[in-house]
Structure 1
Amino acid sequence: MTGQPTPRSLIVTFYGAYGRGSAGRPAGPVPIAALIRLLGAVGVDAPSVRSAVSRLKRRGLLVADRTDAGAAGYALSEDARQLLDDGDRRIYGHPDTGDGAREAAGGWLLAVFSVPEQERHKRHLLRSRLARLGFGTAAPGVWIAPDHLYDETRHTLARLELSPYVDLFRGAHADFEPTEQAVRRWWDLEQLAKLHRGFLDAQEPVLERWAGRAIPDPEDAYRDYVLALDSWRFLPYADPGLPPALLPRDWPGVRAAEVFTTLHDRLYDAGFAYVREALTAMRA
């Protein structure tokens, strides 16, 4: 993602980080007054919050509900909760962080699709979804990704009722071009590196600022964490976790993942304290 964060994106980021409850228990609706305060802390004014909430409600991602105290609020829909749950492994467990970095021989996943002309709208949906999953383009109608994306790909295509148009294959790259060169055709590595460097330009100074602070201030921690997460959460989809042996030696994705992971470890819990305080104040 490039440019300034949007109110809609920040609301989704907030719910993904702090609006889903804990210990397997769904969170209740967030009062609209609390949502306005919590989004105000990251620079979104009240009219923009209300407008973005309305759009997310129309898209079926938020549902209107009442809190136990009877206040108007919004909760995640089941579809939105599933989307956020699916994203957790990508966002918080990116291969570059070291939780099982893939070797070059880890294998590849091919998606080969054919969509009838009368259903060409599904062709566009299929292409856009594969791109969002991090697939590269090997040839027209043939998309490729690291094999570790198989489960997520299968689940996503089935949920969107696109599986009848796709065949999935798993295997190795055999000939004729060296795989390292082929990867540069399948993905725009220069653009991916640019995205990682943009994240680092914005977030490394934040990390440096927190390095000398022993006890995070809850509101500051919340603001910096939500903004960092909103910037980061798109990157593990643009960059699908390609095998390190196939990437340039100075690949900035490694450092970007380290910076986000350190910010998460440093700021998340303190940010949660600020959220709890804001929700408690609205219920008092």
Structure 2
Amino acid sequence: MTVFTDDTESQPRELIVTLFGLYARAESNWLPVAGLVRLMADLGVDGQAVRSSVSRLKRRDVLQSERHDGAAGYALSRSALDVINEGDTRIFHRRRATMEDGWVVLVFSVPESEREKRHLLRTSLTTLGFGTAAPGVWIAPGHLAQETREMLERRGLAAYVDIFEGNHIAFGELRSKVRRWWDLEELTLSYADFVERYRPALREFTGGPVTPDSAFATYVPMLTVWRRLPYLDPGLPLALLPQGWNGVTAEQLFADLNEALSGPAREHAMEVIHRRRQPQPVSR
């Protein structure tokens, strides 16, 4: 399952998923209704939009209603929690591949009667950052081989695929092939947008004291934008990317903002959550 999409309409849902990924897991995978509403208000989202977004996330089996000590709240479903746990390394500690890593190549065949499996397989490979070398043939840097195998086994897709590891030995120029297998122009534009949007924030927060509420209001939307990008870019070797690849600049900007803002943002979130752990009417 994928717990994020790219459409603008889904932004409140994206923010909610980010909040649960950041703060619910340390609270027994649960946030109180009142705390969620207040945190979303701090991000400029009103209560009606929160309720509507939560309803959609519940229908998609991302969230489920739970009461803790008489207080109404929500928890991530088991499948959503697995996706978010899987993403921690990719988002916060992504490794850049080298030419020595080689490649992992995946070939799949899914019967027409199981088209939903084909869709799940393609979605899963896309979220791992695989490129398409040919119909039914997907490729990624070799260091993703074990992660790919574990993900396919966990999602019940292993029976439909064969996985190979190796090197490109011939023919043609690999840099030009990488441009076909991955949409580097789109990635370049996405990284440029991230840098343009958040470089001023780094100057602002490194130029003076950081208050928890202002850090929170910047950090959660920033992470919500960033967390899509490592799933589209698998960390391709720099030797195969355009000179001056702006993904490196964007990665460093994210790392600097994460270091500066994550601590005070968590301080604000925890203060709100703990202050609102009290009985509330169950949301239906």
2:12 equivalent to 1:18: no
User: Could you tell me the TM-score, scaled by structure 2's length?
Assistant: 0.91
1:33 match = 34
1:146 to 132, 141, 144: 141
Q: Residues of 2 paired with 1:237 and 1:91: CA distance?
A: 8
Q: Residues of 2 paired with 1:272 and 1:137: CA distance?
A: 39
SS at match of 1:19: helix
1:90 match = 90
Q: Residues of 1 paired with 2:111 and 2:9: CA distance?
A: 39
SS at match of 2:276: helix
Q: Residues of 1 paired with 2:92 and 2:7: CA distance?
A: 20
The runs of 5 or more residues in structure 1 that have no matched partner are: 96-100
Q: Residues of 1 paired with 2:264 and 2:10: CA distance?
A: 22
2:238 equivalent to 1:253: no
2:126 match = 131
Q: Residues of 2 paired with 1:155 and 1:44: CA distance?
A: 37
Moved over 6 A (4+): none
C-alpha deviation, 1:2, in angstroms? 7.1
Q: Residues of 2 paired with 1:90 and 1:174: CA distance?
A: 28
1:43 match = 44
Matches within 5 A, 1:146-165: 146-165=141-160
SS at match of 1:250: coil
1:53 match = 54
1:263 match = 257
Q: What amino acid sits opposite 1:16 in the alignment?
A: G
1:181 match = 176
Percent of aligned positions that are identical: 48
RMSD value over aligned CA atoms? 1.6
Q: What amino acid sits opposite 2:28 in the alignment?
A: A
SS at match of 1:20: helix
Q: Residues of 1 paired with 2:7 and 2:115: CA distance?
A: 29
2:98 to 82, 103, 110: 103
1:226 to 220, 226, 242: 220
The runs of 5 or more residues in structure 2 that have no matched partner are: 1-5, 279-284
User: Could you tell me the TM-score, scaled by structure 1's length?
Assistant: 0.91
C-alpha deviation, 1:121, in angstroms? 2.8
